[in-house]
Amino acid sequence: MSDEWTARMISPAVELGSAPLFRIEFTVDGAVGHATLRISSLGVHEARINGRAVGDDVLSPGWSAYEHRLRYLTHDVTALLEETSVLTVLVGNGWYRGRLGFMGGRAFYGDRLGVIAELDVRYTDGRRQRVVTDAATWTAGGSEIIADDLYDGMIIDARHRTATPEWSLPVRELDFDPGRLTPYTGPVVTRQETVPPARIWTSPAGRTLIDFGQNLVGWVRFTATGPAGTEIRVRHAEVLEDGELGTRPLRDAQATDRFILSGGEDRFEPTMTFHGFRYAEITGAVVPDDLEAVVVHSALRRTGTFECSDDLLNQLHRNVVWSTKGNFLDLPTDCPQRNERLGWTGDIAVFAASAAYLFDVSDFLADWLADLAAEQQAADGLVPFVIPDILKFQPHPPEFPDPDSTAFWSDAAVWVPWALWQSYGEIKILTSQYASMAAHVRRVRTLLSPSGVWDRSFQFGDWLDPDAPPDAPAKAKADPGVVATAAYYRSLTIVAEVAALLGHPDDAAEFTASASRTREAFNREYVSTDGTVRSDCTTAYTLAIVFELLDADRQAAAGQRLAALVADSGYRVSTGFAGTPYVTDALTRTGHLVDAYRLLLERECPSWLYPVTMGATTIWERWDSMLPDGTVNPGEMTSFNHYALGAVADWMHRTVGGIAPLEPGYSRVLVAPRPGGGLTWCKSSLETRHGRIEVAWDIVDGELKVDTSLPEGVTGVLSLPGHPDVEL
């Protein structure tokens, strides 16, 4: 099939009061050798031929930067065709026309839903038939979906299933540039698994509550029979509060699905929304008996595993996995439940390495980076807070005055492709993103103060420092300029290396010189003669150490001071968004492995294991999203499914598990487990582009034994404490 589209984007001529269902009937005249359907939509779609789904994807075409890129799918539909065939496409609001963002508003991209499709039929005798969307041959009608919204849920009226459909309503062609259409590069969203109820009971208020035992993302489906017009309502939430469904953290997201019975046996599955939930509340005269939760996320292949002798650490790692699954639904989001669910750049900037170990996210994140580059180019080099950028359609919140490039968040343009390069060794990600990477550091250069540090524009800084006021998460202990300048230096060193790797020597020299000046400015402005880093807090030392801003003497002194600060905090976490992903690395690099393990294994709040002791099955946004007495944090910003603080998994994989790349893509491997914390064994594995790596260690009678397996053709180094390195 030619890449050129002859189909037109069509929309109902009038609003129908329900999700539109587009239809065409056509004749298949002969033996079919092969048939494909290319399809996209303004809104999310479900296509069927002769009543059967054309694919297993849901919520397609997902959410991209619609002004620049609208993805389409190609399905093999050969087996679905009959002599007289009917192609229908149901279109819901999705991200295109539904509610988006925490400031309110909807339909930021347009107020008309639409579909564009081309069916290409190749007959065995060489003939070809094409069925394309246009105003002349297609019609539209209403559907059983009375309302649909990603935040608020769906209303499905099964009585419309038994009614005679009205297909005489005309469609019209929209003004649409097919040049925006681009094929999927990442995986589609699909149903991944089902989870049965773990417990069903009646709440103190007399409501039926269901605990699925796992905080997940997706929906509830069931079969029900009852009088026509009977309504069953399902509300969703991540936690309970005072024995009832805890909906306050959802803010104004309704997260409620309503199902109206037809009078016969009805099967309900709300596939044009999704919810983040562990608990559901069922109201109505009929309570279904075959309820199950359907887990939905992008179809990612699991690649990395980790297991050790500490059950709490194992649960922490499982929580990281589940938060990755829940927030990798078409794009990397901050949370999946409240009125937000946005592609915050800072979250994935620090988490990309962890994600790339757990799953094959190469195509998934490459697709998102294409949107980042498109949004950045349209904003003159500025990488927005969220990708796709819907904040540009709204007034700036008062806490984000005149936003510009922002450390850690905008650095995603550099750090994410670098993490993919290190994990997969595929040069194409650097080639495709190089212009974006270079544009970011060049824009930041214009924001520096005359002293050469980045301290003049708005910064999130060490966001959610546990010592910051609950209503002012940016008021961290770490000076924002220290955080920003350290992050800028890291980005400069990466882009300089990429420029050299790609054969851009002038750029490499430019960025190397900028990095040298930035490092000098950091030490001049922020590091005193005795080695104290401004703010004298854990995050300041952590970033200076891990991003290699200090000379050897100052590095050692910074490590000593960092270890002392960690001990002074009682080994409870004292870092926020910027410092937390790197603090265990900083301790390890400066010879304080014991302190790193004590920090990791601490159970009192704030700590990584505190949520685990409170029954968490995903990573929380705040260390104290739930307070020790079981009540929910009173702050407005409280999510129970936020992967960012789970970025410590990267350290666990490399330092506890012992698997790290010596060369990009693990073509050469460092096997360097560093046991500690009382752990007696650990098993890790990783499926790389070259094959499977396995490392298992245990301690028996005080002796460390390590077994490792590398793919054929892959070399490595075995590095063990107190022993010389060994070539593998």
Q: Which residues are known to be catalytic?
A: 340, 621
Looking at 531-669, list the stretches that DSSP marks H as alpha helix, in order from N- to C-terminal side: 538-546, 552-568, 583-589, 593-601, 610-613, 649-651
Structure tokens at 517: 């000046």
Helix/strand/coil for 560: helix
How many angstroms separate the CA atoms of 118 and 9, rounded?
Answer: 11
Render 208-271 in DSSP notation, one character per residue: EEEEEEEEEEEEEEEEEE-STT-EEEEEEESEEETTEEE-GGGTT---EEEEE--SSEEEE--T
Pairing of strands 21-27, 52-53: unpaired
Structure tokens at 47: 């296509």
**Cβ(257)–Cβ(156) below 8 Å:** yes
Residues 6+ apart with CB under 8 A from 291: 196, 197, 210, 220, 221, 222, 280, 282
- Within 10 angstroms of residue 713's Cβ, the number of other Cβ atoms is 8
The identity of residue 419, as a single letter, is: A
For residues 325-355, one letter each, b for 16 or more C-beta atoms within 10 angstroms of the residue's C-beta and e for the rest, the string is bbbbbbbbbbbbbbbbbbbbbbbbbbbbbbb
For residues 660-680, one letter each, b for 16 or more C-beta atoms within 10 angstroms of the residue's C-beta and e for the rest, the string is bbeebbbbbbbbbbbbbbebe
Dihedral sign, CA of 346, 192, 44, 224?
A: negative
- In the numeric block, the tokens 């297991």 are attached to 307
Q: What is the CA radius of gyration of the chain?
A: 27
Cβ-defined contacts of 190-193 (< 8 Å, 24+): 190/56, 190/57, 190/58, 190/296, 190/298, 190/299, 191/56, 191/58, 191/218, 191/294, 191/295, 191/296, 192/295, 192/296, 192/297, 192/299, 192/325, 193/294, 193/295
- In the numeric block, the tokens 């009614």 are attached to 163
How many angstroms separate the CA atoms of 569 and 546, rounded?
Answer: 20
Torsion of CA 708, 712, 717, 721, to 10 degrees: 0
Structure tokens at 11: 């929309």
Structure tokens at 326: 């829940």
- Inter-axis angle of helices 412-424 and 345-358, nearest 10: 10
CA 259 from centre of chain: 30
Residue of 37, 578, 94 lying closest to 329 (CA atoms): 94
Q: Quick one: DSSP state of residue 92?
A: E
- In the numeric block, the tokens 């397996």 are attached to 709
- Within 10 angstroms of residue 65's Cβ, the number of other Cβ atoms is 22
How many angstroms separate the CA atoms of 148 and 254, rounded?
Answer: 12
**Cβ(188)–Cβ(59) below 8 Å:** no
Residues 6+ apart with CB under 8 A from 190: 56, 57, 58, 296, 298, 299
Question: How far lies 365's CA from each of 356, 417, 490, 549, 676, in Å?
Answer: 9, 8, 21, 29, 34
How many angstroms separate the CA atoms of 642 and 635, rounded?
Answer: 16
Question: How far lies 533's CA from each of 406, 483, 553, 554, 575, in Å?
Answer: 21, 11, 13, 10, 15
Q: Is 415 left (phi over 0), alpha (psi -120 to 50) or beta?
A: alpha
